[in-house]
Amino acid sequence: MPDQRLPHEGDFAMLPERERHIAGYVDALPEGAAMDIKSLARSQPLYGQMAVGSALRALGVAGHLRHVRCLIGEGGQVRWVTRTFWSRIARDNEWWEAFLAAEERGSAPQEAAAPLPPWVPTDPAASEASASVPAQPPVTTVPQQRTAEPEPQPEAEATVDRPSPAFLALARLGRTDSRLALSAADCAALEQAAAEWFARGVDADYLTRVLAAGLPASVDSPFGFVRRRLRDKIPPRLPAAAPVVPGTPVRRLIVECTECAVPGRPEAFRDGLCRPCRQLDPA
């Protein structure tokens, strides 16, 4: 992170106690450490996932962090991964927009070198020498003896159908937050809707984080609640990786809402939040 001063005891003194504790913990993490809600809640004992999620949201509003999705890989082997940029100094929205724009420019892949032309011998003497080499006599193959036909192998037992990634992600929601506990029948009924998220390039962690973000104090019908979120918060379809035409820019970095993880352009977010989440902000 540019212009990052050395750590100081009073760096986060203006933050509330919970946010001050989470900020100090995150600030001490090494570069590249996991900063998702589950990892932070598991690695420090004072606050659970709900408290950590609320604290990260507040730290985003305060200007200390932004969540983004980055396109990594080349050619047909590309995937989106979630990253968190952390700043010890609280930054305003204009600074973050400029930083993320520069980060996207720096993440663009370098142009591949032009392929070398096919090799052509330039030494006539070498060509004449290769032409003067006598041809080798044809190789005579020796017929092999007939062997007994191998006995047929028994057919392998049919493998048991394994749950799909969408089904497993739904089944694990209740372990992330008991308010979203689903039965096996619920998971089967919602499996196709969740599979559509996977078809749009997200993984199980992303799906879980979006579905469990900002839950009300109680959920009367986990099935209905999850079904509605699967429909309302489904991410946009990202274009398939295609050969890049020279001069055509490709977006390789998309900002995520700190609250609901919906992706979008940097200018669509204020204080790290999308418009719907800003409207729900009690402040």
pLDDT in tens, 16-55: 999 999 999 999 998 888 888 899 999 988 999 999 999 9
- Residues 24, 98 share a domain: yes
Give yes or no: residues 223 and 259 share one domain.
no
Residue 262 CB neighbours (<10 A): 21
pLDDT at 129 (0 to 100)? 45
Buried b (16+ CB within 10 A) or exposed e, 113-127: eeeeeeeeeeeeeee
Q: What is the dihedral of CA 267, 273, 275, 279, to 10 degrees?
A: -150
Q: Domain containing 272: what range?
A: 17-109+252-280
What ranges make up the beta strands (E) of the chain? Answer: 65-74, 77-86, 253-256, 263-264
Asked, for residue 244, whether it belongs to a domain, the answer is: no
Please name the helix (run of DSSP H) or strand (run of DSSP E) that holds residue 142, with its range, or none: none
125 occurs within a structural domain: no
What parts of the chain have a pLDDT lower than 50?
A: 108-131, 133, 140, 142-143, 145, 156-159, 244, 247-249, 283
Is 243 a domain residue? no
pTM beyond 0.75, yes or no: no
Domain membership of residue 8 (yes or no) is no
Question: What's the distance, Cα to Cα, between the start and end of the chain in Å?
Answer: 29
Residues 22 and 63 in one domain: yes
25 occurs within a structural domain: yes
In a domain, 61, yes or no: yes
| Residue 230 dihedral angles phi and psi, to the nearest 5° | -60, -35
